[in-house]
Amino acid sequence: MYAVLAGGVGAARFIRGLTRVVPAGEVVAIVNVGDDLAHVGLRICPDLDSITYWLAGLVHPEQQWGRSDESHTVAHELRRFGHEPWFTLGDRDLATHLHRTMRLHEGLPLSRVTEEITAAFGVEVRLIPVTDDPVETRITTADGRDLHFQEYWVGERGRPEVTAVRLAGAETARPAPGVVETLIDADAVIIAPSNPVVSIDTILAVPGLREAVGTTPAPVVGVSPIVGGEVVRGMAHKLLPAVGAEVSAAGVARHYGELLDGWVVDRQDASTIDEITAHGIACVATDTMMDDVEVAAALAQRCLALADERRADT
Ligand code: GDP
Ligand code: CA
């Protein structure tokens, strides 16, 4: 069984490739929930939904998140009542949020509702939200404000300078059922090419997670989300400096530090291999731009091979 620490789109593109090289039923993704928000009375889980729609083959092809063949009638009608939906609400996507919100109101934990949603979409990869408890990523800006991650990223389009990032509620959050066991029992743990600060660090901020990734007998291998010194998409370049990390493939490897047994960088960053290896992290370069699924599958295969090499070393 293969465990993947997962944010949203970067992780979704990777996991889709991974399911071409190992059976989907052998893949368990532990998914960030720091981005989740309550909006127009609904519970929205952007990272869980991005992965679900990608794996179901129903993701919006240009946006890379949300549903394909989407319309926005409900969002438009909400304006009649003075609600300005600043967070995109597609009609098809809304059905997911409605079902989730109903079931949460009935008392089901998010991890159970997520099982229902993935089953309804025919997704065989198991998605586990890292915690069922309420947590949220908060952004401190240079002008002294404290914003929910989505207010910063969607509401303010990522413009404010960021000085700190934290997962509010983490102190009392517990890992969702199966999360720690998955990490300990896995044949390999893969850190997806996701945002290191607001996807991976927010997973590791849940008590017990960093310890589980640090002590699992499984090799831990990550894929760099930074290619040629730049983010492929998103805001990692704005957030890495706020946590004291360099915006480079090597900078992210150093940021994860001793959690990593192996690190996969893009061919464009092959010159950093020696620097990363000097930190005791086995490093290889390959194509990591997963615009087509064949590249994603080859990348996943390379990760598993590196994990096998590291397992044999120990
Ligand atoms: P989000 O929550 O939807 O932003 O998704 P993630 O946290 O999973 O991923 C965002 C990160 O994934 C960004 O830092 C991107 O640079 C990275 N990313 C996205 N697609 C790719 C890709 O094809 N290859 C690599 N190496 N990184 C990617
Ligand atoms: Ca996200």
Take residue 251 and report the two structure tokens written for it.
Answer: 């900078």
pLDDT in tens, 155-170: 999 999 999 999 999 9
pTM of the model: 0.97
Residue 119 lies in a domain: yes
Distances (CA, A) of 212 to 19, 124, 205, 285, 295: 24, 24, 12, 27, 30
Q: Please, what is the average pLDDT of the chain? A: 96
- Does the C-beta of 32 come closer than 6 Å to ligand 1? no
Three-class SS state of 284? strand
| Ligand 1 nearest-atom number relative to CA 47 | 2
Give me the pLDDT at residue 86, please: 86
Give me the pLDDT at residue 234, please: 86
Characterize the bridge pairing of strands 230-231 and 162-168. unpaired
Residue 69 lies in a domain: no
pLDDT in tens, 16-49: 999 999 999 999 999 999 999 999 999 999 999 9
Q: Mean pLDDT across the stretch 140-162?
A: 94
- 176 DSSP 8-state letter: P
Take residue 191 and report the two structure tokens written for it.
Answer: 């850190």
Task: Report the CATH number that the domain containing residue 283 is assigned in CATH.
Answer: 3.40.50.10680
Percent of the chain with pLDDT over 90: 95
- Does the C-beta of 59 come closer than 6 Å to ligand 1? no
Decide: 225 and 196 in contact? Cβ < 8 Å.
Answer: yes
| Ligand 1 nearest-atom number relative to CA 6 | 8
Give me the pLDDT at residue 88, please: 87
Residue 278 lies in a domain: yes
Residue 256 lies in a domain: yes
Decide: 78 and 40 in contact? Cβ < 8 Å.
Answer: yes
Q: Percentage helix, strand, coil, to 5, in the chain?
A: 45, 20, 35
At a CB cut-off of 8 Å and minimum separation 6, what does 186 contact? 1, 2, 3, 28, 216, 218
Number of compact structural domains in the chain: 1
Residue 298 lies in a domain: yes
Percent of the chain with pLDDT over 70: 100
Position of tokens 């994990």? Answer: 307
Decide: 183 and 3 in contact? Cβ < 8 Å.
Answer: yes
Ligand 1 pocket test: pick from 60, 197, 233, 272 the residue with the most ligand atoms within 8 Å of its Cβ: 233
Give me the pLDDT at residue 61, please: 95
Expressed in angstroms and rounded, the spacing between residue 314 Cα and the centre of ligand 2 is 34
Strand runs labelled E in 155-305: 162-168, 188-191, 220-223, 226-227, 230-231, 262-266, 282-286
Expressed in angstroms and rounded, the spacing between residue 168 Cα and the centre of ligand 2 is 16
Residue 37 lies in a domain: yes
Q: Which ligand minimizes its atom distance to the CA of 236?
A: 1
314 pLDDT above the threshold of 80: no
Give me the pLDDT at residue 256, please: 98
Partner residues linked to 167 by β-bridges = 137
- Does the C-beta of 290 come closer than 6 Å to ligand 1? yes
Give me the phi and psi of 150, to 5 degrees please: -70, -30
Residue 104 lies in a domain: yes
pLDDT in tens, 62-121: 999 999 999 999 999 999 999 888 888 999 999 999 999 999 999 999 999 999 999 999
Range of the domain at 18: 1-62+93-314
pLDDT in tens, 202-247: 999 999 999 999 999 999 999 999 999 888 888 899 999 999 999 9
Q: Mean pLDDT across the stretch 120-134?
A: 98
Residue 139 lies in a domain: yes
Instruction: List the strands of the sheet with 2-6, edge to edge.
Output: 126-129, 27-31, 2-6, 188-191, 220-223, 262-266, 282-286
Q: Which ligand minimizes its atom distance to the CA of 13?
A: 1
Decide: 190 and 221 in contact? Cβ < 8 Å.
Answer: yes
